[in-house]
Amino acid sequence: MSFNIIWLQAGSCGGCTMSALTAEDRGLMAALKAFDVNVLWHPAISEESGEEALDILQSVVNGTQTLDALCVEGSVLRGPGGTGKFQMMSGTDRPYSAWIEDLARHARYVVAVGTCAAFGGIPAASANPTDACGLQYEGAEEGGLLGRDFVSKGGLPVVNISGCAPHPDWISETLSLLATVGLNKDQLDISGRPRFFADHLAHHGCSRNEYYEFKASASQFSFLGCLMENLGCKATQAVGDCNLRSWNGSKGGCPDAGFPCIGCTSAGFENPPAAFQRTAKRAGIPVGLPLDMPKAWFMALAALSKSATPKRVQSNARSDHVVVPPARKRDDE
């Protein structure tokens, strides 16, 4: 029997759908089909619109159509004044948030696709004029639209495929897992993210790791050095196997592509302590240090690493191409 999903786009830029469409080598629809995942309705992909689309949603609410997974992309806009009227479901007199609540009650699993749906994301930044939140989180705080105690019919809290946008294969793998062997609570991390990607840090597998080891830092974007000390890279604090998997079928994640990791899989990434491409520092020391590493140890190791940095690494870190190649040490050195 098919595993039926409905995908809604709440307060969204559509980027998660754009990312999802490139899933695996074959594209999202073929990837889902291989696991018998059937898209009942997706606003950007499905042919049905207007009354036909509403009939599909209504059939789930009526109980005449089973829904295995409700996927929501984008934050829930609760404003103004808690009415949800900043985003109405076209053709109905009801806010999108009410439809999400109704459908979530009937779904076996509820899946937040992207950081907006998981934690609030960019629409929830700073003043948050639309009162945006995630499905089960408001930033790092549990709650959100469905409440901290929400558990879907399948016994799971909201499954948070965070990322802005999430890696396409995180989406297809999560849905495939739910459709086949299922997921249990132990396979989700403390923030509801599937551990198959959340047990890694975005720093793992970055091609700049040798520069990180020696704290040989880039001072401008074209340089090869590590982006943590000056250019805002938060990959040592952000979960995700982004740099272990390839994106777009070939390369690693953001730092491999020359852009600092902005921690897009984390709650609250939208309000960084400094501009996204600058490292927040106090007394010259980065504020955000690697997860689970005591500050004193980091400082001591960083000082030691810097004093031991090979000339090759130091020079290349400040260049946009390799200027000093690896060379064997002479016997008399």
Question: Regarding beta strands 159-161 and 137-138, do their DSSP bridges make them parallel or antiparallel, or are they unpaired?
Answer: unpaired
Helix axes 96-106, 50-62, angle to 10 degrees: 40
Q: Where are the alpha helices (DSSP H) in the chain?
A: 15-20, 28-34, 50-62, 96-106, 115-119, 168-179, 195-198, 209-213, 295-307, 311-317
Closer to ligand SF4 by CB, 78 or 215: give it: 215
- Measure the CA–CA gap between 99 and 77, rounded to whole angstroms: 12
Cβ 2 to ligand SF4 shortest distance, Å: 31
Outline where DSSP puts E strands in the chain: 3-9, 37-41, 67-73, 76-77, 107-113, 132-133, 137-138, 141-142, 159-161, 281-282, 285-286
User: Residue 156 or residue 239: which is nearer to ligand SF4 going by CB?
Assistant: 239
Closest contact distance (angstroms) between CB of 119 and ligand SF4 is 13
Using CB under 6 A as the criterion, which residues of the chain lie in contact with ligand SF4 when the complex forms? 163, 202-203, 206, 208-209, 212, 226-228, 233, 235-236, 238, 240, 242, 253-255, 261-265
- β-pairing, 137-138 vs 141-142, is antiparallel
Residue closer to ligand SF4, measured from CB, 137 or 212: 212
Query: Least separation, in Å, of the C-beta of 225 and ligand SF4?
Result: 8
Residue among 41, 71, 37 at smallest CA distance from 59: 41
Reading the block at residue 186, the tokens are: 């132990």
Nearer to ligand SF4, 5 or 238 (CB): 238
Q: Which is nearer to ligand SF4, 156 or 242 (CB)?
A: 242
Alpha helices in 154-294 (DSSP H): 168-179, 195-198, 209-213
Instruction: Decide whether 23 or 89 has the Cβ nearer to ligand SF4.
Output: 23
> Least CB distance from residue 39 to ligand SF4, whole Å?
25
Q: How far is the CB of 80 from ligand SF4 (least distance, A)?
A: 31
Least separation in angstroms between CB 100 and ligand SF4: 25
Neighbours of 314 (CB within 10 A): 16
Of 59 and 207, the one with the shorter C-beta distance to ligand SF4 is 207
Work out how close the CB of 303 gets to ligand SF4 at its nearest, in angstroms, rounded to a whole number.
17
CB of 328 to ligand SF4, least distance (A): 25
CB burial class (10 A; 0-12, 13-18, 19+) of residue 11?
buried
Per-residue tokens: 58: 């209504």
Burial per residue of 49-66, b for 16 or more beta-carbon CB atoms within 10 angstroms, e otherwise: eeeebbebbeebeeeebb
- For ligand SF4, the closer CB: 4 or 115: 115
Q: Rounded to the nearest whole angstrom, what is the least distance from the CB of residue 167 to ligand SF4 in the complex?
A: 7
Pick 34 or 287: Cβ nearer ligand SF4? 287
